[in-house]
Structure 1
Amino acid sequence: MPYTEQHGSPTPPRTCSQLVRLVICWLPIYWLTIVAASAQASSPLHLKLGGSPDSIAYARLLLGGALEAIGQHVTIEEVADNDNIPMTRLEVMLKEGNISVLILGRTAERDRKFLQVPVGMTANLVNQRILFISKGSQPDYDPVRSLEDFRQLGKIAAMGEAWADRAVWESNDLPLASISGDWRRLYRMVASASRGLDYLPRGVHEMSEEWRLHPELDVERHLVFVYEQDHILYVSPTQPELHRLLHEALLAARDAGLIQRLAKEHYAQVFKPPVSLQKRHPIHLRSAAP
C-alpha cells in the first residue's frame, strides 16, 4: 500500500538516495567552513611595539616565540622614533591602540587602564635593581649589609613619575624624588651635586647596557635590591582578542620554560662585569601590592 502523508504522522525514513544528495549538498559548505577557520588561524597576527630598542628586541623575541609555539604567525611593526617617546606618552598610545602591548611594572592604575597578562616576563631579572651613583660615592655604600643599613644612609632615589618602583621604595620607607615627562633627565640630575639626588635604580638587564653610556656616573659595586614583582605584559584595551591569545601563549611559554630560557639568553650580560649579578649581596625589599 503506498505511503500517504497524514497530519501528525511520523516523518518517513530518508531513502539512501536522499541521504547521498544531502551529503553532496552540505559537504562543500562544511569544507568551506573548515578552510575559513584554518585560514583565520594561520593569518599573521599584527603587533605594534614601542619603547626602547632593547625592550622592543626582547618583546619581539619573547612574544614572537610564544605565539609561534601555539601555531600563531605574527608580524611586528615598530613605532617610528619610539626611543624618544616618554613612558607616559607610550601608555597613552597603548590605551588608544596605537601600540599593541608594553612590558611594564605592575600597578593598580595600569591594571585599571589596560588588559593584563599576569605572567612574569623577565624571569625576575627586572625586579633586581642595581644603582647608578654619583662619582666617588662608592665608600658610602660599602658598609651596607641590610635594608636598615641602607635606610640609615639617608640617600635619595631618583625615579620617573610613572615607575612601579616608586610604590616599592615607599613601602620600604626609602626616600625618593620623582619627575614627570622624560625620565632620562635623571642621569644628569644624579650626576649633578646640586640636585640632591643620590642614586638611580635600574633593572640589572638595563644596567648591563647602560653603564657604557653614562661615564658621568658610577655603578654601585656590591649590592642588588630584590623584590618579588616581575614586570608583566599589558595589552591595549582596544584589542581583547589579542589579549586572549597572548594570555594563552604566555601561560604556555612560562610552563614550558621558554620565558626563563629566552630571558637568560637575551640578558646574558647581567652575569658579566660590571653588573656581575651572581656576586652581589642581596637587599630584600617588600613588594608593593598592585
Structure 2
Amino acid sequence: MDLLHPRYWYDRWQRLSLIGLLSLASSLALAAPPSVIKLGGSPESIGYVQDVLSEALVAAGYDMPIEPLLQPADFPMTRQELMLQRGEIKVLMLGRTAERDSRFLQVAVGMTDNLVNHRILFIPKGRQSRYDAVQTLEQFRRLGKVAAMGEAWGDRAIWELNGLPVETISGDWRRLYRMVESPAREVTYLPRGAHEMSREWQQHPELDVEQHLAFVYELDHILYVAPQEYELQQLLHEVLSKAQGSGLIRQLAASHFADVFQPPINLHQRRLILLRSELP
C-alpha cells in the first residue's frame, strides 16, 4: 500500500495501539498481587496468621482469599522455606534473621504483639529446683545448661549471641522433646514460645514446664513473602501497618493466645531474662 495513503497510517496506528494495550495489560498482570494468597506455616501458627491477614485485609478494604497449605506436623520448616523461595507458597510467618532477609521479601510488622518472643522452658522431670534461684542472665549461664533447638530456628542465633550453649538437629524438630527427656543426652531444656507452651504442656507430661523464668528478646515474628511477589509484599505491609496502628493485631493476639496468662504459663508473673538480639 502507498505510504502516503491514509489507510496505511490508520492500519499502522491500530496495530501499534493494540501492541501497546497488550503490553500494558501484560505489565499490569505481572505487577498485580496474586488473586489468592497461598499461606504456609506450622499447624500451630497457620490459623492465627490466616485470621490476622483476613481481618487486616478486610479492614483496609481488600477482598483477597487466603489458601492455607496445611502440611503434616513433622514437615520441616526448612522445606517450607524452600517452597517460599520457589514461590510454591507466597507467605510464611517466621522469626526474623539476616539470612532470611537476604532470601525473601519482608513485611516488617510484628505479627504477635511480641508474645512469640517470650520463651518458656521445657525441662526434665524433677529439675525445677535448679532454676529457682535464677534472677539474671549471668546466673542462668552459670548453670551450664544446653538448649535443644531445630537447625533453622531463629532463636539459635539469639542464644549464641548471648553466650548460651545450643545443640541443634535437622529434620523433624519434634525429636527434641525426647532428647530433653533422655538422661543420656547433653541437652537439658527446650525453649518454646509462650503461645506454643500454652498448648504443648498437656501434650508432653513426660516433661515439666519451668515455673519462674521467661526469656525475652526484641524480635517479633514477621511475614516473609516469596521473592517474586513484590506487589504482594507492598500490599501486606500497607494493611498490616494499619492493623498494628489500630490495635487490631494486639486484640487478635490477646484473644488467640489468652492461655499464656493462665497456669502453668502465667506469663505476667514470670521473671524476665532479657536477651540481646541483632536487628537484621
Give the structure-2-normalised TM-score: 0.86
| Aligned with 1:129 (options 98, 101, 119) | 119
SS at match of 2:197: helix
Shift of 1:97: 1.1
Show the counterpart of 1:257.
247
Show the counterpart of 1:232.
222
Cα deviation, 1:227-265, whole Å, max 9, x if unaligned, reads: 111111101112221111101101111111111111111
Show the counterpart of 2:205.
215
Shift of 1:84: 3.1
Contact 2:42 2:71 in 1 (8 A): no
Contact 1:147 1:284 in 2 (8 A): yes
Show the counterpart of 2:278.
288
In structure 2, what is the Cα distance between the partners aligned to 1:95 and 1:64?
23
In structure 1, what is the Cα distance between the partners aligned to 2:71 and 2:103?
24
SS at match of 1:53: coil
Show the counterpart of 1:154.
144
Give the structure-1-normalised TM-score: 0.83
Show the counterpart of 2:182.
192
Cα deviation, 1:197-240, whole Å, max 9, x if unaligned, reads: 10000010110011111111110001001111111110111222
User: Is structure 2 residue 133 aligned with structure 1 residue 143?
Assistant: yes
Show the counterpart of 1:21.
none
Contact 1:46 1:76 in 2 (8 A): yes
Show the counterpart of 2:170.
180
**Structure 1: gaps of 5 or more residues:** 1-36
Contact 1:51 1:85 in 2 (8 A): no
Show the counterpart of 1:171.
161
Percent identity between the two aligned chains: 61
In structure 2, what is the Cα distance between the partners aligned to 1:177 and 1:242?
36
Show the counterpart of 1:23.
none
User: Is structure 2 residue 231 aligned with structure 1 residue 247?
Assistant: no
Shift of 1:173: 0.6
Contact 2:162 2:276 in 1 (8 A): yes
Shift of 1:73: 1.1
SS at match of 1:212: coil
Q: How many residues align?
A: 250
In structure 1, what is the Cα distance between the partners aligned to 2:112 and 2:263?
20
Cα deviation, 1:155-210, whole Å, max 9, x if unaligned, reads: 00001111111111111111111111111110111111111110000010110011
Residue 278 of structure 1 aligns with an amino acid whose one-letter code is H
The structure with more radius of gyration: 1
Shift of 1:81: 3.1
Shift of 1:150: 0.3
Show the counterpart of 2:64.
74
User: Is structure 2 residue 265 aligned with structure 1 residue 275?
Assistant: yes
| Aligned with 2:48 (options 38, 58, 79) | 58
SS at match of 1:84: coil
Contact 1:44 1:72 in 2 (8 A): no
In structure 2, what is the Cα distance between the partners aligned to 1:167 and 1:84?
23
